[in-house]
Amino acid sequence: MNNSKGKVVRYNKWGYIFLIPFIVVYVVFQLIPLVSTIYNSFFENYRSGLTQVGPNFVGLANYAALFSGGKIWIYLKNTMIMWIMGFIPQIVISLLLGAWFSDPSLRLKGQRFFKTVIYLPNLIMASAFAMLFFTLFADTGPINSILMNLGILSSPFKFMSNVWSVRSLVAFMNLLMWFGNTTILLMAGMMGIDTSLFEAAQVDGATSTQIFWRITLPLLRPILLYVMITSLIGGLQMFDVPQILTNGTGQPAETSMTLIMFLNKHLFSKNFGMGGALSVFLFIVTGILSLIVFRINSVGNKD
C-alpha cells in the first residue's frame, strides 16, 4: 500500500517540475504585469515636460476620465468594425482554401508552393506593409495616377480622407496578412477529420456541398472556435496597421482610431494611470467578448 502511494507522489512531483517553466514565465511576464497594470490604474502618474507628476492615489478618477465624453466607445466601435470587415472575408476564404487543399479528390498540383505563398504576407512586418499601402494610396501616389491614366478618375481620390476607404484598406491589409495563417490552421483541423466519414458520405451519395456543411464544418468547430477567439483578441489589439497608415491620427476624424492607438497616445506624457485604466477596460472587454464567442459556439455542441 505504502509503496504504491509513494509512486503516485513521485509522478506528481515530476508533473510539477515540468510545469515550473510555464508557471515562472506566466507569473513573471503575465500575472505580475497584469496585477501591476490594475494597481497603476488607480494612480495619477505622468510626466509633464521634465517634471514627474505623482504617483498620487486618485481612486477611480482615471476611469471617470476615460469614460467622460464617450470617445472610448467610438474607438471600441471603430476597432470592432475594422476587425469584422477583415475577419468575415478572411474566414470565408480560409474555409474555401482549406477545403480545397485538404480535399484529396481535387488532386491540386503545387500545393506546397501555394501554401507557402499564401503565408508569405504574414512574414512582412505589419508596419512595412502599412507603409507600402500608405505610399501606394497617397493623394499623389501610384494608385491614383494609374486610375487617372486609365480615365477612371478625373482628379485624385483622397483615400486617406474617406471613412470607408481607410477602414477598407485596414481590413484588407489585415485580411491579406492573416488569411494564410487561418487557412493553415483550418486545414490542419480538416485533415484531422476521419476520412472514413467523407467516404461514407460519398457512398451515401452526398454532394460535396453537403459534405462540407454536414461533416466538415461541425467537426471543425473546436478549431474554428480557437481561430475566432484568437482573431478577436488580435483584432481588439489592432494597432500597427492603422497607426502607420494614418500616421497615428486615425483619420478621417478619428474614424479609424483603435483602442490601442489611443493607448499609445498616452505614452507621450508617460501617463501610466490612464494607460493602466484603458488596459483594464480592454482586458474586461476582451474577456466578455471571448466568453460570448465561446458560448455561441459551444451551444450547438450539446445537440
**Residues in the site for another protein, rule: CB under 8 A?**
46-51, 53, 69, 71, 135, 138-141, 158, 161, 163, 247-249, 251-255, 265-266, 268-269, 271, 274
With cell 472575408, the residue in question is 89
Cα distances from 135 to residues 12, 132, 144, 232, 250, in angstroms, run 58, 5, 11, 28, 16
Cβ proximity to another protein, 115 vs 265, nearer residue: 265
Cβ proximity to another protein, 221 vs 265, nearer residue: 265
Q: How far is the CB of 60 from another protein (least distance, A)?
A: 16
Q: How far is the CB of 283 from another protein (least distance, A)?
A: 20
Percent helix / strand / coil, the chain, rounded to 5? 75, 5, 20
Count how many Cα atoms sit within 13 Å of the Cα of residue 219 in the half-sphere of its side chain.
17
Q: How far is the CB of 267 from another protein (least distance, A)?
A: 9
Cβ proximity to another protein, 142 vs 222, nearer residue: 142
Cβ proximity to another protein, 12 vs 161, nearer residue: 161
Are 262 and 277 spatial neighbours (Cβ–Cβ below 8 Å)? no
Cβ proximity to another protein, 94 vs 255, nearer residue: 255
Cβ proximity to another protein, 44 vs 223, nearer residue: 44
**Interatomic CA distance for residues 99 and 223, integer angstroms:** 14
Q: How far is the CB of 251 from another protein (least distance, A)?
A: 7
Q: How far is the CB of 258 from another protein (least distance, A)?
A: 15
With cell 491620427, the residue in question is 249
Which residues make Cβ contacts (< 8 Å) with residue 242, sequence separation at least 6?
A: 82, 130, 166, 170, 250, 256, 257, 258, 261
Q: How far is the CB of 269 from another protein (least distance, A)?
A: 6
Q: How far is the CB of 89 from another protein (least distance, A)?
A: 26
Cβ proximity to another protein, 40 vs 251, nearer residue: 251
Query: DSSP string spanning 165-230?
Result: HHHHHHHHHHHHHHHHHHHHHHHHHHHTS-HHHHHHHHHTT--HHHHIIIIIHHHHHHHHHHHHHH
